[in-house]
Structure 1
């Protein structure tokens, strides 16, 4: 299995400087399913049947599973396999597939993942977390609950079967068709993390947490009304804040609305606050998948009790970038020492 290049294209922008801030209301999560037009049928080739070539398999599904279908497929498979009550594992599986950096070939990539055993799939979870930690250490630290379980030493045979079955269920429900495009706008039609959380968490648990996911149509309407239709009003330093972000559904709608106005969401500042660690982790994953850019941050905390968490998030980002740079420097030194030892050994053998 080819390992990801953890050190490719590193770099970190300047810390965001908030300008005019648009505060998005509470609604979050559940999203539209992507709709892709059916290709026009081609005229049949005038050749003998036995000479007819095999029909190429499409790289993307024509009708990928919608959000509710996707979430139900993942949750049902996890529960049928008796995976247990650790929601972070199936959520982490979805996050791993959504964040996998090799884009553009979902059918081929799906077959690759299906050919791996459970231990190799755990390695994939660890590698994708390391890959993105080198690029956005603050976001991956916030989302660490979705990946830390893969570092555990012991799993029962049943747990390993459940993990592998859930990987397959997410692949069969077209997770890579929703997240596997080069253009982040094409990866922003649906909030897979939201639908997975909604399907895994019991209704009574959601009610106890006060977790109410707003329909995507409402999020889209509210984003259009709040942001408006005039691109001239969106200036440098423009920022958006959601104090009860969930998995980021309002951000998804806002980003798509900006793109509709021919504006790049990655040029602006996004700040999400969320009290539920699992939802905040899902939001951190979505920020990467949806291409919200280098000035997007997610903080986990109680907005009502703590108020504005922006300063804490900025400090968290600074500390995590510094830690990432230290790790990268140590790794570079270790690699250099290995090369020196190899050269010395080569010289000694030659002598």
Structure 2
């Protein structure tokens, strides 16, 4: 079982993107969101390996496709009369996606199924706290998906809906989409996008102008924009998305880069998104998809506010300082407690 560094260093701040080494991922100028066409699913044990890469497939259950997953989560939440608080079911999916121990999908699924609702709420809080210590900038952007679990009172329907949503996400094999140690395997499906899409009523999406680009279209656009010749691009490039949603174009771009032999960690990823729920989902995806320490999300109106890169850098710097201050305070508290323990032991002797 891999031990993760709780206080991972993010390194230097990403440099402002340069035109000659930046790729802006565009959006379709017309069209309507449409669900992914249903295709026959293959068992993970029989899925063809990507060219040039050797994969160790650890899961045998067939994952659900994106639309099926999102529908399962939304149905469980609404059938239990959970209410209109989208952040709760989205937070459930984010908790499962960000659970730090990878490679034990069946064991983890059984672990979650045996928990009662207060214990599930504790899982939400612990995941948020764990990743805040590792990526405080991203988790602060995604905070609305976790802070609800800190409330003291919930309605009976909300408590029932929280547990039902956890079980529905597990039954739809959420951990088969996000529980791999290899980010390549965790980047097949944008679970956050399909969850947002299914939780929002069609009228609400139209009112917000929210049309999530189908993944097949994202894949096609990424391959055309980035190209297929490794000589046309190199480590250190910046990829920008001014209307990112939950990051669907980044998902396709990252997979395309991996197929070309690149590691997305060596690139800078900057997303802007006006909707707080979508921006939160994008921040979660940045971690799940392994986009590295130079991945940032800014929540704001691109048309009204323009480039939010400086704001994102400032936010990143502030959150890292807060994380470091918290780390120092914890170290001091631990040292004081340990000293008190040693003094008490010496006194008893």
CA contact (8 A) 1:70 1:192 kept: yes
What are the superposed Cα offsets for residues 166-223 of structure 1, whole Å, 9 maximum, x if unpaired?
Answer: 0000000000000000000100000000000000000000000000111111110000
Query: Rg larger in 1 or in 2?
Result: 1
Structure 2 Cα separation of the partners of residues 301 and 248 of structure 1: 15
TM-score of the pair, normalised by structure 2: 0.90
Deviation at 1:12, TM superposition (A): 1.8
Instruction: Give SS of 2:23's match.
Output: strand
Counterpart residue number, 1:226:
225
TM-score of the pair, normalised by structure 1: 0.90
Structure 2 Cα separation of the partners of residues 80 and 36 of structure 1: 30
CA RMSD of aligned residues (A): 2.1
Counterpart residue number, 1:237:
236
Counterpart residue number, 1:145:
144
Structure 2 Cα separation of the partners of residues 213 and 153 of structure 1: 34
Counterpart residue number, 2:106:
107
Counterpart residue number, 1:333:
332
Structure 1 Cα separation of the partners of residues 4 and 340 of structure 2: 23
Structure 2: give runs of 5+ residues left out of the alignment: 47-56
Deviation at 1:322, TM superposition (A): 0.7
1:284 is the counterpart of 2:297: no
Instruction: Give SS of 1:237's match.
Output: coil
CA contact (8 A) 1:71 1:192 kept: yes
Counterpart residue number, 1:12:
10
Instruction: Give SS of 1:134's match.
Output: helix
Counterpart residue number, 1:43:
none
CA contact (8 A) 2:92 2:165 kept: yes
Matches within 5 A, 1:150-229: 150-229=149-228
Structure 2 Cα separation of the partners of residues 6 and 325 of structure 1: 17
Instruction: Give SS of 1:86's match.
Output: coil
CA contact (8 A) 2:44 2:60 kept: no
Ranked by relative contact order (alpha carbons within 8 Å, sequence separation 6 or more), the top structure is 1
Structure 1: give runs of 5+ residues left out of the alignment: 41-57
Deviation at 1:94, TM superposition (A): 0.1
Counterpart residue number, 2:25:
24
Kindly tell me the number of residue pairs found equivalent between the two proteins: 330
Q: 1:298 to 1:167 in 2, by over 3 A?
A: same
Deviation at 1:157, TM superposition (A): 2.6
Structure 2 Cα separation of the partners of residues 252 and 331 of structure 1: 36
Deviation at 1:111, TM superposition (A): 0.3
